[in-house]
A and B are shown apart, each in its own frame.
Chain A
Amino acid sequence: MTGLPWLSVLVFLPVAGALLLALLPAQRPLLVKQAAAVITLLDLLLAGMLWTAFDASSTAIQFVHQAPWVPPLKITYYLGVDGLSLPLVLLTALLGFLAVLVSWNINHRVKLYFALLLVLQTGVLGVFTALDFVLFFLFWEVELLPMYLLIAIWGSPPPLGRREYSAMKFLIYTILGSAFMLVGLLALYFSTGTFNLVDMARADLRNTAVPATLIFWLIFFAFAVKLPVFPFHTWLPDAHTDAPTAVSVILAGVLLKMGGYGMLRICVSLFPQVAYTWAPTLALLAVVNVLYGALVTLRQGDLKRLIAYSSVSHMGYVLLGIAALGEVGLTGAVLQMVTHGTITGLLFALVGLVYDKTHTRQIPELGGLAHRMPFIATVFMIAGLASLGLPTMSGFASEFLVFVGTFPVFGWYTLLGASGIVLTAGYILWMLERSFFRGPLARFDHVGDATLLERVPLVVLVATIMIVGLWPRAVTDVIRAGLQPILSRLG
């Protein structure tokens, strides 16, 4: 893997593809879709190559591409991956490709749609690979406008949804978060004289000009909005409910992970002391997230909103694992990000299919769909079981690690958090029963099952969930390598 700066190619291939799409004739939507699929597939293959070439026995940052960028402010162009980011890079590339397949039935302003999807992918990949804070921030913001437009143009139109409202809410929440991140970023630069995240992590940040605790929380806020952490989560159900299917997949699958990743890469890596002091608070926030999210999920009647709120609950486990500040808990947190990405991505893809075929997402209006769409019902069940943490599925592995990692540190919080599993089982099984396993309804007599093209993403995601569930070490070994620098600073 020498020669080209592969990581830069990986990150910028989608945006180059977006420019290519702009040149294609608008009258040939199929060509646009095929081109988008080819580009994202290439990106996925590239990410796969990086995964195989990655040396998991080393804790070093690999595939580094570094160059001066803005010398007056000492900003560098610095890309690299370690065990922390690589799984998320692969996840992003995978979901990016599947999102294109899921979008195959988009027929409204096709060129713009796929171009925005590709720009979005560059933004997310950039966030996971940037090791300069300004570059990180830049990629963090690149995602804004495509996401806004994707929700606002292709989302649920009124009276079904409030796409413009939801899109604007997403935008304002995220910009508010990044505004605080920008202040924190400048305060950090003032204290360390560098934007290089690796150097910053090595610097002594105990006696900064601006109090370290303040910087920590300024930056944490941006990630808390993204993860999302209660009470800054209210944009998420709205955005999910009104987003088109593929965008929901990306949003739940990778965008939320930017929050968890940022907390680890920046908050915990740079301020282990502050994180240590505030760990009980973080754990409390996490438990509130898990339980509040799960309780609200229980009373959702809209399939998509249900999955959205379940995300709030499940991302609470990520925060819980981070709060433990130990190897097992942190590994669990990162693994939970990956597994939640695949499981929830799958669930949203399924909800999209159900809606396409039945034209409703209201659970009370559904029922007995298993008779008409056995394949979708089966996969939905697998995804549901994975989501509630059934052993042999990936959800079990990650949540188990989180609980094992946090129990010695916060006994009661862990028990409370683990009780969220019971609630999860409740809403998942109840939802499955009401939607799929009742008597057949006459109005769905002509509803068909998933087509071959629609089955591809489902099968791929189920396979991923099973592989990680049966053999989590494939991922955890990589994650562990990435966590070593953080752990050594935590002492």
Chain B
Amino acid sequence: MELYLIFPELVLLLCALLVIFSDLLGARKEALAGLAVLGLLIAARLAMELVGPDKGGVAFAGAIVVDDFALIFKFLFLVSTLLVVLASVEYVERFEGVAGEYYAVLLLACVGMMLMASAQEFITLYLSLELTGISLYTLTGLLRDARSSEAGIKFLLLGAVSSAVLLYGIAVLFGLTGTTSLPQMAPAVASGFQENRLPLLLATALLMAGLGFKLATVPFQMWVPDVYEGAPTPVTAFLSVASKSAGFVVVLRVFHTALGRDPLAADWAAIFAGLSLASMTLGNVVAIQQGNIKRMMGYSSIAQAGYLLVGLAVVPQSGVSGVLFFLVSYTVTNLGAFIAIIALSDKLNSDRISDYAGVWQRAPFLASGLALCLLSLTGVPPTAGFFAKLFIFNVAVQQNLLWLVVAGVLNSVVSAYFYVGVIREMFLGAPVDRTPVAVAAPVALALFLAVAGTFILGVFPGPAMSVASAAAGSLVP
């Protein structure tokens, strides 16, 4: 049996059920969090077993593949979930009795994403996508106040529409090629439609639209600001990193495995270049006007998706490694920023940027951590964000996409204004009251890990880049 290939997912599933049962039996919230952390750690340990040559493989008649590319994402999801669990230990007080469900559904979302990383067959892919999606809709509405519920409903409706569009695309592709398996689709796509690419382009466009929703790129970004603002902050953090990475894993897998040959590849690469430009520009320009930090981070995540798409605008392997390294950097950076925001918003009871005035005097650790992560999002060295941009823009220059790189760096300049705007508020503003902001130990640990990751990737990015390149090699030989 190849069951061992999905042991990490099975363990997490089991853990999610255990959390729910322990909650029923009246376990304390801290114990539930501890259980979730334990499950995640065991899953990570089991996933470690799959790392290395001849360790991975294909399971369930080609529906599931475990390669370096899938594994890098699985670790990314595990780490994201782990940090979000640690960061929410205080926040769960607001969930009034559904803390157990919160942890369990979070784990389920993680399972879905890990399966998305491994799926190389459309039915499996769609199912894991829906598992993730439904978990995320639930999490978004978990606060059960007006904003949170509105965000949950909005997310659900738009998510359902995007899933439908995606299904259309899958159906068209199935009709054209007679298979739902990505690797088997590839030769049919490459050989069968040399004369008339139109049906294929239609399918590609439908896939792009359906998956663009998960990536939160322009023009499928409309849900982002409201959902980011209304969702519980730890869920927003999770959406901004894990959900985005999950979108990218599917896009990369589908487009490179099934649709990855010219001339079709050149077509979608050109479209992604356009989407990239639109996303980074719209995200950054609109983020400037935001007064709510969660909305600002929402637009920021749209802009970051734009930078990421630069890696899809170039077809070869180097583009994939660019996206992978960028995602790793973005995940630790954005999580770091959000963990600080979770801790602060919990104590300040506000998400307004103007209420961050003088936070540096009240919580120097949170403020400096947030500042470093914001600089990393801007792309200022020595942080992860700098090398992420250097790496991905370098790939684009090598492919003669200089115009896109110029657009990217100019966008970074625009983004400096609002990222530094938050830093300005924290360091220059006068605090309304001077009581120090206490941080719970798990939250502090999560922030420390994320900030350390951001800094280490900014000083010694070499090993992570090599891993990203190797993983890209397993997807695009």
Interface residues of A (CB under 8 A from B): 69-73, 134, 137-138, 141-142, 144-145, 148-149, 152-153, 164, 168, 171-172, 175-176, 179-180, 182-183, 186-187, 189-190, 209-210
How far apart are the CA atoms of A145 and B390 in the complex, in Å? 20
- Interface pair A183/B465, CB less than 8 Å apart: no
Contact with A along B176-191 (1 / 0, CB 8 A): 0000000000000000
Interface string of B412-456 (1 = CB under 8 A from A): 110011001001100110000000000000000000000000000
- Measured between alpha carbons, how far is A152 from B420 in the docked complex, in Å? 12
Which chain A residue shows the least CB distance to B361?
A: A109
Could you tell me if B409 and A183 are in contact, using CB atoms closer than 8 angstroms? yes
- On whether the beta carbons of A73 and B412 are closer than 8 Å, the reply is no
When the two chains form their complex, are residues B424 and A152 in contact, meaning their CB atoms are under 8 A apart?
yes
Q: How far is the CB of A205 from chain B (nearest CB, A)?
A: 15
A175:B413 contact, CB within 8 angstroms: yes
Q: For the complex, what is the distance from the CA of A134 to the CA of B416, rounded to whole Å?
A: 20
Whether the Cβ atoms of B381 and A183 lie closer than 8 Å is no
Interface size range on B against A: 35 or more
Tell me which of B98-106, B119-127, B398-406 binds A.
B398-406
B73 contacts the other chain (CB 8 A): no
- Given the contacts A152-B428, A186-B405, A175 and B416 also touching, CB distance less than 8 Å: yes
Tell me if A172 and B394 are in contact (CB < 8 A): no
Q: How far is the CA of A187 from the CA of B386 in the complex (A)?
A: 17
* Cβ A70 vs Cβ B427 within 8 A: no
29 CB-based A-B contacts, threshold 8 Å? A72-B469, A73-B390, A73-B394, A134-B390, A138-B381, A141-B380, A141-B381, A142-B381, A142-B382, A144-B380, A145-B375, A145-B380, A152-B427, A153-B427, A153-B428, A168-B420, A168-B424, A172-B417, A175-B412, A179-B412, A179-B413, A182-B390, A182-B409, A183-B397, A186-B390, A187-B402, A189-B394, A189-B397, A209-B400
List 12 additional A-B contacts (Cβ < 8 Å) besides A176-B410, A179-B413, A209-B400.
Answer: A70-B462, A72-B469, A138-B381, A145-B380, A152-B424, A152-B427, A182-B409, A183-B405, A186-B390, A187-B402, A190-B394, A190-B397
**Complex CA–CA separation, A90 to B472 (angstroms):** 46
CA distance A469 to B462 in the complex (A): 48
Q: What CA separation (Å) do A109 and B207 show in the bound complex?
A: 55
Q: SS class of chain A's interface: helix, strand, loop or mixed?
A: helix
Give A371 to B129 CA distance when docked, in angstroms: 82
Q: Are A186 and B394 in contact (CB under 8 A)?
A: yes
Contact: B427 with A149, CB < 8 Å?
Answer: yes
Pairwise interchain contact B465-A73, C-beta atoms closer than 8 A: yes
The docked-state distance in angstroms from the alpha carbon of A210 to that of B405 is: 13
> Which chain B positions have C-beta within 8 A of A152?
424, 427-428
Please indicate the chain B residues that have their CB under 8 angstroms from the CB of A73 in the complex.
Answer: 390-391, 394, 465
Please name the residue on chain B nearest to A188 by beta carbon.
B397
Nearest A residue to B325, CB-CB: A72
| CA of A180 to CA of B428, assembled, Å | 29
Given the known A-B contacts A164-B424, A171-B416, are A71 and B380 also in contact in the complex, defined by CB atoms under 8 Å? no
Instruction: Collect the chain A residues with CB atoms within 8 Å of residue B412's CB.
Output: 175, 179
B461 within 8 A of A: yes
- A265-B378 Cα distance, complex, nearest whole Å: 27
- Interface: B393 (CB within 8 A): yes
CA A109 to CA B151, docked complex, whole Å:
42
Question: Could you tell me the distance between the alpha carbons of A72 and B382 in the complex, rounded to whole angstroms?
Answer: 17
Which of B380, B410, B417, B465 is within 8 Å of A70, CB to CB? B465
A179 to B406, CA, bound (A): 8
Question: Which residue of chain A lies nearest to B399 when distances are taken between CB atoms in the complex?
Answer: A190
Q: Could you tell me the distance in whole angstroms from the C-beta of B413 to the nearest C-beta in chain A?
A: 5
- Compute how far the CA of A206 lies from the CA of B381 in the bound complex, rounded to whole angstroms: 31
